[in-house]
Amino acid sequence: MKTIDREKAIVGLLVVPAVASMLFFFYGFSGWNLFLSFTDWQGFVPSNRLVGFDNYLTLFRDPLFWTSLKNNFLLIALFVPGVMLVGLLLAILLDQRVKGEGAFRTIYLLPFSLSFVVTATLWAWMYSPKMGTINVLLDKLGLDFLKSGWITDPNLVMYCITAALIWQFAGYSTVIFLAGLRSIPESQIKAAQVDGASVYTIYRRVVIPQLKAPFVTSFIIFMCFALKAFDFIWVLTRGGPGYSSHILGVTMYKETFGLEKFAYGATYATVILLVSLLIVVPFLYKVYAKEEK
């Protein structure tokens, strides 16, 4: 009994700090942010005077909020399926036991190991309309008709951002799906091969249906990133041209630290959290409710 009590005490000492940190840093700060969204704090002098839902009413009447929300959903719709598809395809290729697999994994993961500020700067140089790598390369290949303003074009900027983010996160997505592929028993693959199934049929009917956990994990991770992305877009476009690449995180930063509307910025942060929950919770419920049935 003494040994069991000692083990419980050790587990408690390891778990309590983690739980306390989560309660303080996530729930505590989220609650404080929610409280601030109901105040009139502007400038660097704190104000706890409650104004009710005034900030939320102002937010929902602000055209910039709806523009940012629309851009955010566009980024989610393009980035999340795109990076999951690229990661799955790369993982399937690596799953063929190619030579130098470790080197390929390193190459794929290298962009993700770089700072978002560094990669955004690199892509800004590449997208430059005059001296950018992409336009220069197109000019050398005689494809001048494909040259564009890229991130200076309001109609293309979100697609350019999405392509750059997929490039950076593709390696991380590959590792998630490769781990899922390697967890599938070899006996199932061999049994399908004995039955004469082609490689395409094996992956479509045997392998991919068993990748629910990697799909759920990658969806949540990439969706949350796309919803709160800030540093990459800020360095790459500053939210421009105009408001064409403003997402909720960029607008929140400008309102909070650019205009010193701290209560209004807290309102944006609360909305970002609520939108995350509105997407993730129904998704998880739908996935795991089906499993229980």
Cβ-contact 247, 233 below 8 angstroms: yes
Answer whether residue 30 is part of any domain: no
As given in the structure block, the two tokens for residue 240 are: 């421009």
Q: For residue 266, which of 47, 44, 36 has the smallest C-alpha distance?
A: 36
Answer whether residue 139 is part of any domain: yes
Number of structural domains the chain divides into: 1
Cβ-contact 108, 100 below 8 angstroms: no
Per DSSP, the residues of 88-105 read HHHHHHHTT--TTHHHHH
Answer whether residue 95 is part of any domain: yes
Q: What DSSP character marks residue 142?
A: T
Over residues 26-35, mean pLDDT: 91
pLDDT band at 163 (very low <50, low <70, confident <90, very high): very high
Instruction: Say whether pLDDT at 289 is over 80.
Output: no
Q: What DSSP character marks residue 183?
A: T
* Cis-peptide, bond into residue 214, ω within 30° of zero: no
Instruction: Say whether pLDDT at 164 is over 90.
Output: yes
Answer whether residue 13 is part of any domain: no
Distance (Å, rounded) from C-alpha 216 to C-alpha 225?
14
pLDDT band at 267 (very low <50, low <70, confident <90, very high): very high
Q: What is the pLDDT of residues 61-71, one digit of tens each?
A: 999 999 999 99
Sign, CA torsion 81/82/86/87: negative
Average predicted confidence (pLDDT) for the chain = 88
Answer whether residue 31 is part of any domain: no
pTM assigned to the model? 0.89
User: In terms of residue numbers, what domain contains 111?
Assistant: 63-292
Q: What is the pLDDT of residues 45-81, one digit of tens each?
A: 888 889 999 999 999 999 999 999 999 999 999 999 9
CATH number for the domain spanning 77: value is 1.10.3720.10
Looking only at Cα atoms, what is the longest distance across the chain? 80
Answer whether residue 42 is part of any domain: no
User: What pLDDT, on the 0 to 100 scale, is given for residue 44?
Assistant: 80
Answer whether residue 24 is part of any domain: no
Answer whether residue 85 is part of any domain: yes
User: What pLDDT, on the 0 to 100 scale, is given for residue 193?
Assistant: 81
- Tracing tokens 């690229």 back to the chain, one arrives at 86
Report the SS3 class of residue 85. helix
